[in-house]
Amino acid sequence: MLKTFRLGGVHPHDHKISKDAAIRIFDVPKTATIPLGQHIGAPATVAVKKGDKVLVGDIIGTATGFVSANIHSSVSGTVTGVDAVPDGGNLRKPAVTIAVEGDEWNPAIDRTDTLIKECTLEPKEIIAKIAAAGVVGLGGATFPTQVKLSVPPGKKVEMLIINGVECEPYLTADYRLMLEHAEELLVGCEILMRALGVEQCRIGIENNKPEAIRHLNEILGSGKYHQGISVVPLKMRYPQGGEKQLIAAITGREVPSGGLPIDVGAVVQNVGTTYAVYQAVQKNRPIVDRVVTVTGKQLGQPSNLLVRIGTPISALIEACGGMPADTGKIINGGPMMGRAMANIDAPVTKGTSGVLLMKTEESLRKAEMPCIQCAKCVDACPMGLEPFLISKLSRLGLYDRLEKERTTDCIECGCCSFTCPSNLPLLDYIRLGKAETMKIIRARQAK
Amino acid sequence: MNETLIYTIAILVGLGLIAAVVLYFVAQKFKVYEDPRIDETEARLPGANCGGCGFPGCRGMAEALVKNDDISALYCPVGGAPTMKAVAEYLGKAVAEKEPQVAVVRCGGTLCNRARTNTFDGARSCAVEAALYGGETGCTFGCLGNGDCTRVCNFDAIHMNPETGLPEVDEEKCTACGACVKACPKNIIELRKKGPKGRRVYVNCVNKDKGAVTRKACSVGCIGCGKCVKTCPFEAITLENNLAYIDPAKCRLCRKCVAVCPTGAIVEVNFPPRPAEKPAPKPAEAAQPVAKTAAVTENAPAQETKTAEEGGEQHA
Amino acid sequence: MSNRIVAPSPHLHGDFSTPRIMRDVVIALIPAFAFSVFIYGLSAVFVTGIAILSCMLFEWLIDRFMLRRASTLGDWSAVVTGTLLAFNLPANISPWLVILGSLVAIGIGKMSFGGLGRNLFNPALVGRVFLLISFPVQMTLFPDTAGVDAITGATPLAFVKEALKTGTPVTEIMPNIDLGGMLLGFKDGSMGEIGALALLLGGIYLLIRKVITWRIPVFVLGSMFVFASILWLADPQEYMNPLFHLFAGGAMLGAIFMATDYVTSPMSKAGQAIYAIGIGVITILIRVWGAYPEGISFAILIMNATVPLINMYVKPSRFGGRTPKKK
The count of CB pairs under 8 A between chains A and C is 164
Mean pLDDT of C139-158: 60
Would you say residue B59 lies in a domain?
yes
Would you say residue B31 lies in a domain?
no
Residue C305 has pLDDT above 90, yes or no: yes
Asked if B175 and B84 count as a contact pair (C-beta separation under 8 A), the reply is no
| Residue type at B121 in one-letter notation | D
Would you say residue A326 lies in a domain?
no
Mean pLDDT of A200-217: 94
Domains contained in chain B, number: 2
B44 shares a domain with B172: no
pLDDT tens digits, A340-366:
999 999 999 999 999 999 998 888 999
B222 is in an annotated binding site: no
Q: Please tell me which residue of chain B has the smallest CA distance to C8.
A: B122
**Among C156, C300, C117, C101, which residue's Cα sits nearest to residue C220?**
C300
Cα separation, B288 vs B271, in Å, equals: 12
**Among C267, C274, C258, C315, which residue's Cα sits nearest to residue A373?**
C267
Against chain A, the chains showing at least 3 CB pairs within 8 Å are B, C
pLDDT band at B308 (very low <50, low <70, confident <90, very high): very low
* Percentage with pLDDT > 90 across chain B: 40
* Percentage with pLDDT > 70 across chain C: 91
The confidence score (pLDDT) of residue C138 equals 82
Residues of chain C with C-beta less than 8 angstroms from the C-beta of A428: 8
Q: State which of A283, A313, A343 marks the end of a domain.
A: A283
C59 shares a domain with C119: yes
* B11 touching C (Cβ < 8 Å): no
Across all residues in chain B, what is the average pLDDT?
82
Domains contained in chain C, number: 2
The confidence score (pLDDT) of residue B97 equals 67
Asked if B52 and B77 count as a contact pair (C-beta separation under 8 A), the reply is yes
Residues of chain B with C-beta less than 8 angstroms from the C-beta of C4: 117-119
C308 shares a domain with C229: yes
Name A153's Cβ contacts closer than 8 Å, sequence gap at least 6: none
pLDDT band at B96 (very low <50, low <70, confident <90, very high): low
C112 shares a domain with C60: yes
* B134 touching A (Cβ < 8 Å): yes
In degrees, to the nearest 5, what angle opens at C-alpha A168 toward C-alphas A163 and A171?
90
Residue A407 has pLDDT above 70, yes or no: yes
Q: Please tell me which residue of chain B has the smallest CA distance to A84.
A: B209
Per-residue b/e over A65-89, b at no fewer than 16 CB within 10 Å? eeebbbbbbbbbbebbebeebbbbb
Would you say residue C112 lies in a domain?
yes
Residue B3 has pLDDT above 90, yes or no: no
The confidence score (pLDDT) of residue B310 equals 40
Residue span of the structural domain in which A195 resides: 123-283
B106 shares a domain with B87: no
B112 shares a domain with B69: no
The count of CB pairs under 8 A between chains A and B is 44
Partner-chain contact C7 B120, CB within 8 Å: yes
Would you say residue B52 lies in a domain?
yes
Partner-chain contact A429 B128, CB within 8 Å: yes
Would you say residue A440 lies in a domain?
yes
B136 shares a domain with B48: no
* B241 touching A (Cβ < 8 Å): no
B189 shares a domain with B109: yes
* B172 touching A (Cβ < 8 Å): no
B180 shares a domain with B262: yes
Asked if A415 and A446 count as a contact pair (C-beta separation under 8 A), the reply is no
Q: State which of B72, B91, B110 marks the end of a domain.
A: B91
Select from A428, A429, A430, A438 the residue whose CB has the most chain B CBs within 10 Å, as the one to mutate to test that interface. Answer: A428
Partner-chain contact A337 C10, CB within 8 Å: yes
pLDDT band at C140 (very low <50, low <70, confident <90, very high): confident
A267 shares a domain with A149: yes
C163 shares a domain with C303: yes
Cα separation, A257 vs C318, in Å, equals: 9
Would you say residue C281 lies in a domain?
yes
Residue among B122, B131, B133 minimizing CB distance to A90: B133
Partner-chain contact A364 B121, CB within 8 Å: yes
pLDDT band at B276 (very low <50, low <70, confident <90, very high): low
B42 shares a domain with B108: no
Q: State which of B51, B71, B91 marks the end of a domain.
A: B91
Domains contained in chain A, number: 2
Q: State which of A249, A264, A283 marks the end of a domain.
A: A283
Residue C144 has pLDDT above 70, yes or no: no
A275 shares a domain with A128: yes
C172 shares a domain with C109: no
A381 shares a domain with A279: no
Across all residues in chain A, what is the average pLDDT?
93
- Separation in Å, CA of C13 to nearest CA in chain B: 13
Residue among B116, B122, B136 minimizing CB distance to C8: B122
B112 is in an annotated binding site: no
| C302 against C236, higher pLDDT | C302
Residue B309 has pLDDT above 50, yes or no: no
Residue B307 has pLDDT above 50, yes or no: no
Residues of chain C with C-beta less than 8 angstroms from the C-beta of A412: 9
pLDDT tens digits, A29-49:
999 999 999 999 899 999 999
Mean pLDDT of A167-192: 95
The CATH number of the domain holding residue A231 is 3.40.50.11540
The confidence score (pLDDT) of residue C187 equals 66
Q: Please tell me which residue of chain C has the smallest CA distance to A263.
A: C320
pLDDT band at C185 (very low <50, low <70, confident <90, very high): low
Residue B296 has pLDDT above 50, yes or no: no
Cα separation, A432 vs A314, in Å, equals: 30
DSSP A228-268: TEEEEEE---BTTTSHHHHHHHHH---PPTT--GGGGTEEE
pLDDT band at C154 (very low <50, low <70, confident <90, very high): low
Asked if B184 and B149 count as a contact pair (C-beta separation under 8 A), the reply is yes
Residue among C75, C263, C320 minimizing CB distance to A255: C320
C118 shares a domain with C56: yes
Cα separation, A350 vs C143, in Å, equals: 74
Would you say residue C72 lies in a domain?
yes
Would you say residue C222 lies in a domain?
yes
Helix (H) or strand (E) holding A224: none
Residue span of the structural domain in which B51 resides: 36-91
C174 shares a domain with C37: no
A393 shares a domain with A260: no
The confidence score (pLDDT) of residue B177 equals 84
Residue C311 has pLDDT above 90, yes or no: yes
B194 shares a domain with B114: yes
Partner-chain contact C3 A420, CB within 8 Å: no
Per-residue b/e over C148-173, b at no fewer than 16 CB within 10 Å? eebeebbbbbbbbbeebeeeeebeeb
pLDDT band at B33 (very low <50, low <70, confident <90, very high): confident
Residue among A89, A365, A425 minimizing CB distance to B134: A89
Residue among B125, B128, B132 minimizing CB distance to A89: B132
Would you say residue A55 lies in a domain?
no
The confidence score (pLDDT) of residue B314 equals 39
Would you say residue C76 lies in a domain?
yes
* C12 touching B (Cβ < 8 Å): no
Residue among B117, B125, B128 minimizing CB distance to A342: B117
Task: Compute CA B176 distance to the chain's CA centroid, rounded to the nearest angstrom.
Answer: 5
B215 shares a domain with B147: yes
Mean pLDDT of A382-386: 94
B158 shares a domain with B259: yes
* Residue ranges of A 5-34 with Cβ closer than 8 A to chain C: 6-7, 10, 12
The confidence score (pLDDT) of residue B305 equals 39
Residue span of the structural domain in which C305 resides: 157-181+211-313
C272 shares a domain with C163: yes
Residues of chain A with C-beta less than 8 angstroms from the C-beta of C117: 370-373, 422
B170 shares a domain with B281: yes
Residue C244 has pLDDT above 80, yes or no: yes
The confidence score (pLDDT) of residue A25 equals 94
Residue A61 has pLDDT above 60, yes or no: yes
The confidence score (pLDDT) of residue B280 equals 42
Annotation: binding site of A: 371, 374, 377, 381, 410, 413, 416, 420
* B128 touching A (Cβ < 8 Å): yes
C221 shares a domain with C85: no
C169 shares a domain with C111: no
A389 shares a domain with A242: no
Q: State which of A260, A283, A306 marks the end of a domain.
A: A283
Cα separation, C323 vs C311, in Å, equals: 18
- Separation in Å, CA of B133 to nearest CA in chain C: 9
The CATH number of the domain holding residue B86 is 1.10.15
* B128 touching C (Cβ < 8 Å): yes
- Torsion sign (Cα): C200, C206, C209, C213: negative
C63 shares a domain with C175: no
- Separation in Å, CA of A372 to nearest CA in chain B: 18
Would you say residue C5 lies in a domain?
no
Would you say residue C90 lies in a domain?
yes
C117 shares a domain with C59: yes
Would you say residue A6 lies in a domain?
no
Residues of chain C with C-beta less than 8 angstroms from the C-beta of B123: 8
Residues of chain B with C-beta less than 8 angstroms from the C-beta of C8: 122-123, 128, 131-132
Would you say residue A157 lies in a domain?
yes
Would you say residue A237 lies in a domain?
yes
pLDDT tens digits, C77-109:
999 999 999 998 888 888 999 999 999 999 999
* C4 touching B (Cβ < 8 Å): yes
Residue among C115, C264, C319 minimizing CB distance to A382: C319
- Separation in Å, CA of A428 to nearest CA in chain C: 7
pLDDT band at B303 (very low <50, low <70, confident <90, very high): very low
Mean pLDDT of C187-192: 73
The pTM score is 0.85
